[in-house]
């Protein structure tokens, strides 16, 4: 992973800002299914690679069929999802698979470990990412590289996550994008 920051875009204005940034890899969080074609074409025209958060694409269900459709039709660099079937299908299609997990409490953490063992994603995205001690634990237990995201509000939060073992940080904070560009 060459980038410490993965710019996360939740609207077209942020996406357009990402397109003119020096970053090669970005995340598109929320979009409507009708935007996929345009976003995919714009990213390709600018030499950018995109991770799409499948669970947050409005107008399409995050199941095996829609995952297969997205992989075949738009050929994303990767997909992010909380759902095991999406991760398994992305891996089957040769697309980078990022399993998103929410660390709400000890029970959620244990369920996440079971899910990760089942799906064997390429990366894990841990939320919230502003908890370095849990980032270090998940990295050690799962043995899979991870991204940290959620509640990343400062350069200090980014550095803490990276020092705890995250390979990159997903953030929508444009001032942090600029700092690391």
Model pLDDT for residues 96-116, shown as the tens digit of each residue: 999 999 999 999 999 999 999
Give the separation between CA 159 and CA 142, rounded to whole angstroms.
Answer: 21
Are the C-beta atoms of residues 129 and 152 closer than 8 Å to each other?
A: yes
Give the pLDDT mean for 108-131. 97
Give the separation between CA 19 and CA 47, rounded to whole angstroms.
Answer: 9
pTM score above 0.85: yes
Q: Which H helix or E strand runs over 106?
A: helix 106-119
Give the pLDDT mean for 26-52. 96
- Fold observed for domain 5-180: TIM Barrel (3.20.20)
- pLDDT given at position 153: 96
Model pLDDT for residues 41-99, shown as the tens digit of each residue: 999 999 999 999 999 999 999 999 999 999 999 999 999 999 999 999 999 999 999 99
- pLDDT given at position 1: 73
Give the separation between CA 179 and CA 50, rounded to whole angstroms.
Answer: 21
């Amino acid at each position: 992973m060459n980038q410490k920051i993965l710019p996360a875009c939740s609207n077209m204005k942020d996406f357009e800002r990402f397109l003119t940034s020096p970053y090669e890899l970005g995340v598109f969080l929320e979009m409507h299914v009708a935007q996929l074609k345009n976003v995919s074409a714009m990213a390709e025209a600018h030499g950018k690679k995109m991770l799409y958060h499948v669970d947050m694409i409005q107008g399409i269900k995050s199941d095996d069929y829609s995952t297969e459709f997205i992989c075949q039709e738009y050929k994303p660099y990767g997909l992010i999802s909380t759902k095991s079937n999406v991760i398994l299908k992305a891996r089957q299609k040769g697309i980078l698979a990022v399993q998103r997990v929410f660390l709400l409490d000890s029970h959620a953490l244990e369920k996440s470990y079971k899910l990760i063992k089942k799906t064997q994603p390429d990366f894990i995205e841990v939320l919230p990412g502003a908890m370095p001690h849990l980032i270090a634990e998940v990295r050690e237990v799962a043995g899979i590289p991870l991204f940290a995201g959620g509640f990343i509000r400062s350069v200090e939060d980014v550095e803490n996550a990276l020092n705890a073992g995250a390979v990159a940080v997903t953030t929508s904070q444009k001032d942090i994008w600029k700092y690391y560009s």
